Structure formats: C-alpha cells, structure tokens
Structure 1
Amino acid sequence: MSDPQESDERSLINTRWQRTLEVLSVIGPPLTVATALLVYFGWARTDAQSKAMGLDVSLFGYTVQDFILRSIQSLFQPLAWLVVIGLLWLMLDRAVSRLLEAARYRKLIHTIATVVLILGFAYAAVMWIVIVTRPGQTVLYAPFLIAAGLLVGAWGLSVRRRAAEPAARALRITPRALERALVFTLVTLLLFWGTSDFAQALGRGAALDYQERSHLLPTAVVYSKERLAVTAPNVREESAGTESAPLFRYTGLRLLVVSGGRIFLLNDGWTLAQGRVVVLPDNGSIRVEYGNPAAD
C-alpha cells in the first residue's frame, strides 16, 4: 500500500508542475509576439522612411537583428509603460481576488465587473466605428485603443464569472480556452496594425528630420581612381592625382548609413524634394574619409 502522505506530496508536485506549465504557456506567446512586433516595427519604420527618401528598404540589406535594434530606441518608453501597466493590473487583479474571498463583496464586485465589461467592449466598438467611417485616413493609436478596450472588457467578464455564485458557475459551461485564444489573436492583430501605423508615422518623421538636420551628419570625402559622375547638388568633384595616376575627390557629402555592403551618402543641403542619395560600394574600390560635422 502506498503512503497517503507520499501520495499527497506527489499530488502537490504535479499541481506545481501544472501551474508552472500554465505560466510558461502564458509567458511564451507574449514574448514571441513582442519579438515579432520589434522586427515588424523596425521594418515598417525603415520602409516608410526609405519611401519618403525615394528609396526601397531592400537596398539597405538590413538583417532581422538590425530591424530589432532600430526599433528598440523608439519602443523603449512605450514598452516600459506597458510593463508598468501590466504590473498595476496584476496588483489590481490580486486585490479583487482577495475581496472575492469575502462573500459580502461578491454582489458588489459582480455589478462593477458587469459595468467594466460593458464599457470596455462598447469603447472598442466605438473606436472601430471611428476607423471604419474614415477609410482614407489613419487614426493614430486607434488600434491600440481598440485592443485596450477588448482587454478591459475581457477582464471584466472574467471577474464577473469569478464573482458569480459557485452553483451558477457550475451550471455554466464556456469554452474558455477557445475564448482566450480568440481574444489573444484579435489583440495581437490589433497590435500589429497599430504598430504599423505608428512605425510609418515615425519613419516619415525621421525622413523629415534628415531634411532639417542633414548638416549634423558626419561629413564624407570620397576618393576614387575612376570618375564616379556624381551629379547630386552641392557635390564637388576635384582632381587629386596625376595623369599617370588619376584620383578623383568628391566633397559636399554626408554619411547616412553603411549597410549591406553599400555606403549611403546624402548631399549637403539635402531635401526630400530635390536631394539625392548617393549609393557607393563598400568593397575597397573607393576610399572614404569621415569627419566630425562640428568641425565645419
């Protein structure tokens, strides 16, 4: 015969393992979604910036790691706020759970939860109507607000169920797993939608920022044994060699980025309307000297 105490210990261990797996199953997808959002945000931001500058994002040859690094700086504060809000929500949910242990608060919490779920879903519906009625316009942050309304409404529904009487909860059969999966999928799609709009707005803003602050980019002087025929405005070609050893020097350029085996340069006084992006191979066929813009 097995020892009852040993059986209880095994049951406790199994319960702990089940809870651990549940926690991992909950934490895993958000981490995957967060990584995917970082990559997508970096790509969408770079794509919008490239198009505003008359380029294609594929020219830069960025890797997945490059897109993540380009997105972290812009998403650091929003992600920090999301973590803070998530911690506050967990504290609130635990406080509600402790109040539910007292039977005298169940009816009040049930009523408040009903109001919260109605307001949350109604807010999400109103924001959706706002987007649908403006098909040609981008309502910034609207997808995030819809996702927030859905999460608040879903949480209110969860609290309402927990506040119901045990007998009533036993009679109610709900496909909770399918319900949570649908909410998670919908919120994820809304996050990608909102991330795309936000990233594109930042990308277009970054292109305008280059127009206004191109004089703060590092200076670049290009030396080449062959004439490069650079026709960008304010770029000057000078002969720095001899007839037997020709060498051409190009000034009036600013470094944009070095990526994908290419050097991307802007001309002095670069603008979105009239500027040019000079693309040179980074393979040793040319020599580039970079300088501090403050020395100009």
Structure 2
Amino acid sequence: MPGEPPERGTASPAPPTASETAPGTSASSPAESGGDGGKGNEILRWLIGAVANATVLTALLVYFGWQRNDVQSQELGFDESILGMSTRDYVLRSVWPVLVLLLTIAIGGMVWLQWDDRLVRRIRAGGRDDRVVRWTLRVLPFAWLILPGAVWIVGYVWRAAAYVAFPFSIGAGVLLLVYAIQLRGMLPGASEPPPGRVPLLRAFAAIIVGVSLFWGASDYATIQGYAMADRFAAGIRNLTQVVVYSPKRLYLTAPGVTETTLTDEKAAYRYRYTGLRLNLHTGGHYVLVSDGWTPRHGVVMLIADDDPVRLEFVRDR
C-alpha cells in the first residue's frame, strides 16, 4: 500500500507570512498588490518562502542523507552509525535527489499559477454564476481527501511511486483547501474572516505541509536506499580495488581476501592483503568490502586514516 515501502526480496523557523510586503509597496492598496490575483497567490508565496528557507533545506538534506544511508546499511547488514558520516557528508550526498523533489514542487507551482490566473479572471467576470468557479469551489475543499485517495488507488499498480507520492498528496491537499478558502473570500459579497483566523489557518497548514515534506522525503530516501543496496550487491567488481600492506598481521578473513607474507624481513611491511574493494571514505576511515561479499555473508572492514598501513588503489577493469 502507499503507506508501506515496497516489499523486498527477503522480508525551524516559522515560515514567513504572505502578508509581508516588499520594500516600496503598500499592503493597503489592492491595485498595487495585484488586486484579487495578488490575494489568490498569497498561499503560493507563503509556500515558496517556507520551502526556500535555508534552515528547512539544510534539515531536509541532512535527514534525507541519513535516512537513505540507514536503509542501505541495513540492507547490507551493518549499522549506519559505524560509518561516522558528518553533516557535510549527508548534505553533499543528498543534493541531487532533493533537487529533483524541489524541481517537482516548482513545476507544480508554475502549473498552479497558470490555473490561478484563469480562475481569478473567471471570478471577477462571473463570480458564483461561472460554472468552472462553482465546481472548483465545490471540489477543492475536499482535495485533502481526494488526492491521497487517488494516490492510494494508484498504489495498487505503481507501488513505489505511490509510496513516495502519498505524503506529498496530503500536503498538496491541505494547500488546496487553504487556497479554496482564499478563493471564497474573493467572491462578491464575501465576509471577512474573524480576526486571528487566517494566521491560525496558515500555522496549522504549515505544520501539516512540513510534516508531509519530510515524510515524503523519508519515503523517497527509503526507495533510494534500497536501490543503492541492490546496485552495490550487483556491482562489487566495479568498485575500486584496494591492496593493503601492513607491518603486522591484520587477520583479515573476509570471503575472497588473500593474505600474503612477504619474504623480505627488512621490508617496512610484512603482510599484503588483496581481494578488497573500496566502498567509501568517510568519518576518518576507509570502508572496505571483499570480492567475496554477498548479501547473505559479507564482511565490512574499517581502516582508520592514522592506522600504520599502506593502501594502494588499483584500477581494475
């Protein structure tokens, strides 16, 4: 189902309000603020301000990176914490996937702007008598239920896509509900909301949208983590080959590792280990696996930067 990950083979600061006006403009002049159209776009400006917040973006990048690495590590059979990855590592490894999410949000916002422009013109021209306006105001208040329901149904066909889209559909549905309330306020003869109602509405919507954003990013990171684990298991031979030289015996007994004792007693290094592959370098140590690594029986080895060993990285085609 959309709320569950696809089956495997074995088992901040408060968002800026839209009422803030740019320098040199007047909030009390409908003509200068775009009239009803400007009012209808308040929800979109508020959303952009929240998503573009540097603190929110950084938190999203770090959380995405941690979740993806945690899922991959569990699939590979070890705990993510042994990697010792820093916040910088999480951020740098998460930039491209999160940019895809933000690009999707931006495209959705552009489509929303086009629809809003046409809808506002219809409201000005015909008000409730316009059939498109009438049906839009009937359907949008239930978007918080319609969108997740539609994604849930799609999940029976495209499970992975629905698993990622389900949280975002909840946030989008809440935004459309707030948008519908603003559109109703643009109709001729519409009464002003009670004092304090709009800030509370935006605050509650911000909480739901924020949770949906991180929930969706978590699901996307989970899918990415599974995919990375699958690629890792299938591409061990494509990783960089590593030869380890050590003055003392290291007793590396992973499957596929060969230990060779060097005969020159005056050599600085007496033992050589081959059959190793570089997984990554992070947290001040090298993470190595062996040629014989398998999902059922695999060993992960850590060699610190300051260990008295010599590493040779070999291009192995």
Q: TM-score range by the shorter chain?
A: 0.7 to 0.9
Shift of 1:272: 1.5
Partner of 1:82: 105
Aligned pairs for 1:47-86 (under 5 A) are 47-86=70-109
Partner of 1:152: 176
C-alpha contact 1:215 1:269 (8 A) present in aligned 2: no
Higher helix share: 1
Separation in structure 1 between the aligned mates of residue 108 and residue 240 of structure 2, nearest angstrom: 40
Q: Aligned-pair RMSD on alpha carbons? A: 3.0
Shift of 1:44: 0.3
Counterpart among 177, 180, 204 of residue 202 in structure 2: 180
Percent identical pairs in the alignment equals: 33
C-alpha contact 1:46 1:57 (8 A) present in aligned 2: yes
Separation in structure 1 between the aligned mates of residue 28 and residue 180 of structure 2, nearest angstrom: 28
Shift of 1:84: 1.4
Shift of 1:243: 2.7
Partner of 2:143: 120
C-alpha contact 2:257 2:273 (8 A) present in aligned 1: yes
Residue by residue, what CA displacement relative to the aligned partner does 1:75-113 show, whole Å, maximum 9, x if unpaired? 3333222211112212322332333333x2453254133
Separation in structure 2 between the aligned mates of residue 213 and residue 110 of structure 1, nearest angstrom: 55
TM-score, reference length from structure 2: 0.75
SS at 1:252 equivalent: strand
Distance 1:44 1:216, change over 3 A: same
Aligned pairs for 1:1-296 (under 5 A) are 13=24, 15=26, 27-32=48-53, 33-102=56-125, 104-108=126-130, 110-124=133-147, 126=149, 140-141=163-164, 142-162=166-186, 164-165=187-188, 167-170=189-192, 172-173=193-194, 175-245=197-267, 246-283=269-306, 285-294=308-317
Residue by residue, what CA displacement relative to the aligned partner does 1:216-258 show, whole Å, maximum 9, x if unpaired? 1111111111111001001001123523445211100111001
2:62 partner amino acid: V
2:294 partner amino acid: T
C-alpha contact 1:61 1:260 (8 A) present in aligned 2: yes
1:221 partner amino acid: V
Q: Which moved more, 1:61-70 or 1:113-122?
A: 113-122
Separation in structure 1 between the aligned mates of residue 163 and residue 148 of structure 2, nearest angstrom: 16
Q: Which moved more, 1:220-229 or 1:190-199?
A: 190-199
2:26 partner amino acid: T
SS at 1:229 equivalent: coil
| Structure 1 residues not aligned, in runs of 5+ | 1-11, 131-137
| Structure 2 residues not aligned, in runs of 5+ | 1-22, 34-41, 154-160
Residue by residue, what CA displacement relative to the aligned partner does 1:163-218 show, whole Å, maximum 9, x if unpaired? x22x3324x42611110111111111122122212212221221121110111111
SS at 2:24 equivalent: helix
2:170 partner amino acid: I
Residue by residue, what CA displacement relative to the aligned partner does 1:99-129 show, whole Å, maximum 9, x if unpaired? 3333x24532541332332441331564799
Separation in structure 2 between the aligned mates of residue 42 and residue 261 of structure 1, nearest angstrom: 18
1:262 partner amino acid: H
